[in-house]
Chain A
Amino acid sequence: MDFLIDSFLSAILILWSFNPDVYFIIYVSLKVSLSATLIASLLGIPTGFMISFKEFRGKRAVIIVLNSLMALPTVVVGLLVYAFICRKGLLGILDLLYTQTAMVIGQVILIFPIVTSLTIAATSRVDERYRKTAMTLGAGPLQTALVIFRETRFGIIAGVIAAFGRVISEIGISMMLGGNAKGYTRTMTTAMALEYDKGEFVLGVALGMVLLLISLTINIFFKYIQGRSGA
């Protein structure tokens, strides 16, 4: 117990000392995860809308596959992307392995099904009358989609937050595609794993606290926006 308390106090001291190495790790984590979340949202939300509102053969199968991919293990994504971007791989010429770009690619693949599936879940439950009201008031397809987005925004944003939570806390992709290079691709989770291997827990606890703080801040902000909108 003393060990935990000591680690906790030392962690606070590390954060308080504004150690540039620690804050660079946090910066890389946020940069990679936010980039991946943004790209996955830009791709996943419109895809979710299309699947939700278009009728096509095999729609149910697509939804089942997307839902299943929500549980995709990070190491599987890591291996898959590695196979493409390693020197011998199809995209080896791009020299992406052990870069932040590779980590972003892997994380986008990881959370695209989450954003898409949760968008489908949110929009398919929306009252059909909203769509008809928008259409009869003269809205075209894009304006109608924006109305649906507005009415389901909290469900969709919750999906995006869940996706962000998945990537900021994952380790498999960051380790396999980023390589945990200090000052370049080291993230909070890969740093924590390294510190654990070394038997040093202080930095690990500090970064763990930051991870929880980020999650708490995002959720407080989301609730605040939700409350302001009266929803």
Chain B
Amino acid sequence: MLYEVKDLKKTYGDRTVLDIPELILERGIIYSLLGPNGSGKTTLLEILALLVPPKTGEIRYENTRIDFIGDNLTSLRREIVMVQQDPVLFTTSVYKNLEFGLKIRGVSKRERGMLIRESLDLVKMHDFVDAEAHKLSGGETQRVAIAQALVCSPKVMLFDEPTSSVDAESQIDIENIIREINSQKEISVMFTTHNLTQASRLSYKVISLFEGRIAPQRFQNIFNGRITTDGHGNRSCLIHDKIKLPVRTDKTGDVKLSIDPMKIMIFPDQGPGPEENIFVGRVIQMIYEHDGVRAIADIGVPLNIILSRKEVKDRHLFVGDDLRISCPSDATEVL
């Protein structure tokens, strides 16, 4: 076991930004931490990087209880490196930026040169070894920051929104680098993102955070909506003024609505199926995950549907197929 977190709370003033009763992370795999802005992703990552102490709770790293004081913390921190969102490099050369962590670890000069070249090769930045780090572009800075972390040979690498400040091409490169780091170097990885498809295609396990709490998988479709009541007192939730779903709730006005992706039912474009509460949509993306297939359908808003591989195979489901989609009332939850 890599991390064991219990009853973790982090507050800023009166505001609780993290409240996690339990979280267990295994060694050697890629985790993604998914959530909207302000959901506590960065705070959790900084706590796992041992940079910020929690208000209360217990964190165990490789079965060692972290007390967040003393020299022991610095030595443990040397096993875990975090690459920040929009990272900064020290105002010196790329080489010296990478050398920093190695010098701290007492690595010999000859070995330092070898490791630095190896890390820059992995991020395809070997030509920039003598460049002034603060003059690099956003994408180049991101790659050098990854190399700077990687050169320290950590056991764990934590990435905060690693592709948020780079273009589409660099995004794919960085995702490939993260895969390589995990598969070749056997480094445990956790990254934060608000992009569900990125989380799904890159990580073995997606952990969803919502308002500082770990949200169940059913919270993967969250929409802003408004509760409306018809003449018979039946309540519905209107999403983006486009989709109307019947809900059971006492709440009124603006709400957040969750639709459980496991409970959404799909039917062929034509043929038998329910007549009410049905939406027509088109499959715009399909991602094979380790325990199923995530189909994203456009029903006016993008909707995540999780299907078994067998179901996808039996239905001959492909991107571009039109579907009828039903969201039963037990699939919806007003938050």
Q: Mark contacts of B195-239 with chain A using CB atoms, 8 A cut-off: 1 yes-contact digit, 0 otherwise.
A: 000000000000000000000000000000000000000000000
Task: Output the nearest chain A residue to B79 by Cβ-Cβ distance.
Answer: A138
Give the contacts of A131-174 with B (CB-CB under 8 A).
132-140, 143, 147, 150-151
The answer to whether B104 and A151 have CB atoms under 8 Å apart is: no
The answer to whether A138 and B84 have CB atoms under 8 Å apart is: no
| Interface range on chain B (Cβ under 8 Å from partner) | 20 to 34
B105 is an interface residue with CB less than 8 A from chain A: yes
The answer to whether B77 and A133 have CB atoms under 8 Å apart is: no
Where chain B touches its partner, the secondary structure class is mixed
Give the residues in chain B near A230, CB-CB below 8 Å. 91, 132, 134-135
A125 is an interface residue with CB less than 8 A from chain B: no
Task: Output the nearest chain A residue to B85 by Cβ-Cβ distance.
Answer: A129
Give the residues in chain B near A137, CB-CB below 8 Å. 81, 100-101, 104, 148-149, 152
The answer to whether A135 and B132 have CB atoms under 8 Å apart is: no
Give the residues in chain B near A132, CB-CB below 8 Å. 46, 51, 82, 84
A129-B87, A130-B90, A147-B90 are contacts. A140–B80 as well, Cβ < 8 Å?
no
Give the residues in chain A near B90, CB-CB below 8 Å. 130, 133, 147, 150-151
Where chain A touches its partner, the secondary structure class is helix
The answer to whether A129 and B91 have CB atoms under 8 Å apart is: no
Task: Output the nearest chain B residue to A131 by Cβ-Cβ distance.
Answer: B51
Complex CA–CA separation, A192 to B109 (angstroms): 55
The answer to whether A140 and B71 have CB atoms under 8 Å apart is: yes
Complex CA–CA separation, A143 to B102 (angstroms): 13
Task: Output the nearest chain A residue to B105 by Cβ-Cβ distance.
Answer: A138
Task: Output the nearest chain B residue to A127 by Cβ-Cβ distance.
Answer: B88
- Find B87's partner among A133, A135, A150, A231 (CB 8 Å cutoff): A133
The answer to whether A140 and B84 have CB atoms under 8 Å apart is: no
Complex CA–CA separation, A137 to B49 (angstroms): 10
Q: Mark contacts of B35-66 with chain A using CB atoms, 8 A cut-off: 1 yes-contact digit, 0 otherwise.
A: 00000000000100101000000000000000
Complex CA–CA separation, A40 to B80 (angstroms): 39
Nearest CB of chain A from residue B331's CB, rounded to whole Å: 41
Count chain B CB atoms within 10 A of each CB in A129, A133, A230, A231 and give the residue with the most: A133
Give the residues in chain A near B51, CB-CB below 8 Å. 132, 135-136
B74 is an interface residue with CB less than 8 A from chain A: yes
Q: Mark contacts of A114-138 with chain B using CB atoms, 8 A cut-off: 1 yes-contact digit, 0 otherwise.
A: 0000000000000101101111111
Nearest CB of chain A from residue B19's CB, rounded to whole Å: 23
Give the contacts of B83-132 with A (CB-CB under 8 A).
84, 86-92, 100-101, 104-105, 132
A229 is an interface residue with CB less than 8 A from chain B: yes
Count chain B CB atoms within 10 A of each CB in A137, A140, A229 and give the residue with the most: A137
Nearest CB of chain A from residue B124's CB, rounded to whole Å: 21
Complex CA–CA separation, A135 to B87 (angstroms): 13
Complex CA–CA separation, A137 to B152 (angstroms): 7
B194 is an interface residue with CB less than 8 A from chain A: no
B179 is an interface residue with CB less than 8 A from chain A: no
Nearest CB of chain B from residue A16's CB, rounded to whole Å: 43
Count chain B CB atoms within 10 A of each CB in A136, A140, A231 and give the residue with the most: A136
Count chain A CB atoms within 10 A of each CB in B78, B80, B86, B91 and give the residue with the most: B91
The answer to whether A140 and B74 have CB atoms under 8 Å apart is: yes
Complex CA–CA separation, A185 to B122 (angstroms): 64
The answer to whether B91 and A136 have CB atoms under 8 Å apart is: no
Nearest CB of chain A from residue B2's CB, rounded to whole Å: 17
A130-B88, A136-B149 are contacts. A143–B104 as well, Cβ < 8 Å?
yes
Nearest CB of chain B from residue A5's CB, rounded to whole Å: 47
Nearest CB of chain A from residue B74's CB, rounded to whole Å: 5
A136-B51, A138-B105, A229-B91 are contacts. A129–B100 as well, Cβ < 8 Å?
no
Give the residues in chain A near B145, CB-CB below 8 Å. 133
The answer to whether A136 and B82 have CB atoms under 8 Å apart is: yes
Give the residues in chain A near B86, CB-CB below 8 Å. 129
Complex CA–CA separation, A137 to B105 (angstroms): 9
The answer to whether B132 and A136 have CB atoms under 8 Å apart is: no
Complex CA–CA separation, A219 to B135 (angstroms): 26
Task: Output the nearest chain B residue to A229 by Cβ-Cβ distance.
Answer: B91
A132-B51, A143-B104, A230-B132 are contacts. A138–B87 as well, Cβ < 8 Å?
no
Residues of A within 8 A of B (CB): 127, 129-130, 132-140, 143, 147, 150-151, 229-231
Q: A135-B77, A136-B51, A137-B152 are in contact. List 6 more A-B contacts (CB 8 A).
A: A132-B82, A133-B88, A136-B81, A138-B104, A150-B91, A229-B91
A selection of 5 A-B contacts at a CB cut-off of 8 Å is A130-B90, A135-B77, A136-B81, A138-B152, A139-B100
